[in-house]
Amino acid sequence: MTDTTAPHSAITRPRADAWPAPAKLNLMLRVVGRRPDGYHELQTVFQFIDHGDWLWFDVRPDGIVRRCAALDGVPEDDDLTVRAARALQRATGCPLGVDIHCEKHLPMGGGLGGGSSDAATTLVALNQLWGTGLDTDALAALALPLGADVPVFVHGHAAWGEGVGERLEPVTLPEPWYLVLIPPCSVATRTIFQHPDLTRDSPPITLADFLSGDVTNDCLPVVRREYPEVTSALDWLSAWGGGRLTGTGACVFAVFDDAARAHEALGNLPAALHGFVAKGRNRSPLLEPLADR
């Protein structure tokens, strides 16, 4: 099934005051070590795409933080948007509350960063709406305990990432078109990083190595073995120049120089596959509402 939203991949803004929570792609992911606390040392490259969720926020005077729509399998207190709002309250002593509305388009367990992006958008938007006045670095510090990917969404720039993904260096990359496929499965990041067959000692590379074509994702062999739906999607993309895995998956993508070719591939998707076309963005769409306020 193809995504027919227009223009290209952009999801229509549901309200004039809605804030974007864009997806990201990991264009490379290497596991270069394991820390004593069990976390993995990574190298990765993040780039945003112009496709994602939308959030809007109704400020409350009573300090209550409330999620206004259920999310399957995620209790309200565990929802990253709720946790982000409460973290900002605690850090700033803000007496205000909020009703959080989220229109979901990004799949859970897809490697597109949907939950992390929603959390970042919540922090950035409420910092404005509540007038708490934190700078970007302070918001990113609040973001890290919510998830390793949340800070890159707060900073809003394509980045070379190291550590658990929190040490970020902004980079300027080509902004191609992507065809992103969503296999009918969800991949738990924890499952992949705990898998005994995961490579954990890849030699580190440099940004120059990546730009020269080293786009290895060390999670790919494990995901291929454990998730046949991902393997099928990757095999289909091989006819269009090859596919790559974002993060730990399940989503996979192919790179195109122009929109027409990406849409041609999208139009040939078999009925069992779902996908969309999106434009790479070095500057996150989340920064645009900030410029307007």
> 94-133: per-residue pLDDT in tens?
999 999 999 999 999 999 999 999 999 999 999 999 999 9
State yes or no: 165 annotated in a binding site: no
CA distance 114 to 160: 19
- The pLDDT assigned to 4 comes to 40
- The pLDDT assigned to 5 comes to 39
State yes or no: 133 annotated in a binding site: no
| DSSP-assigned letters across all residues of 246-261 | -TT-S-EEEEESSHHH
Q: What is the pTM of this model?
A: 0.95
- The pLDDT assigned to 238 comes to 96
- The pLDDT assigned to 37 comes to 85
State yes or no: 110 annotated in a binding site: yes
State yes or no: 108 annotated in a binding site: yes
Under 8 Å between Cβ of 21 and 288? no
Which residue numbers are catalytic?
24, 149
State yes or no: 28 annotated in a binding site: no
| 76 DSSP β-pair partners | none
- The pLDDT assigned to 3 comes to 46
Ranges of the chain with pLDDT below 70: 1-10, 293
State yes or no: 134 annotated in a binding site: no
Q: For the domain 19-292, what is the CATH code?
A: 3.30.230.10
Of 66, 25, 11, 13, the C-alpha closest to 247 is 25
CA distance 102 to 108: 14
State yes or no: 249 annotated in a binding site: no
State yes or no: 163 annotated in a binding site: no
* 49 Cβ contact partners less than 8 Å away, ≥ 6 residues apart: 9, 22, 23, 24, 25, 178, 180, 278, 279, 280, 281
State yes or no: 112 annotated in a binding site: yes
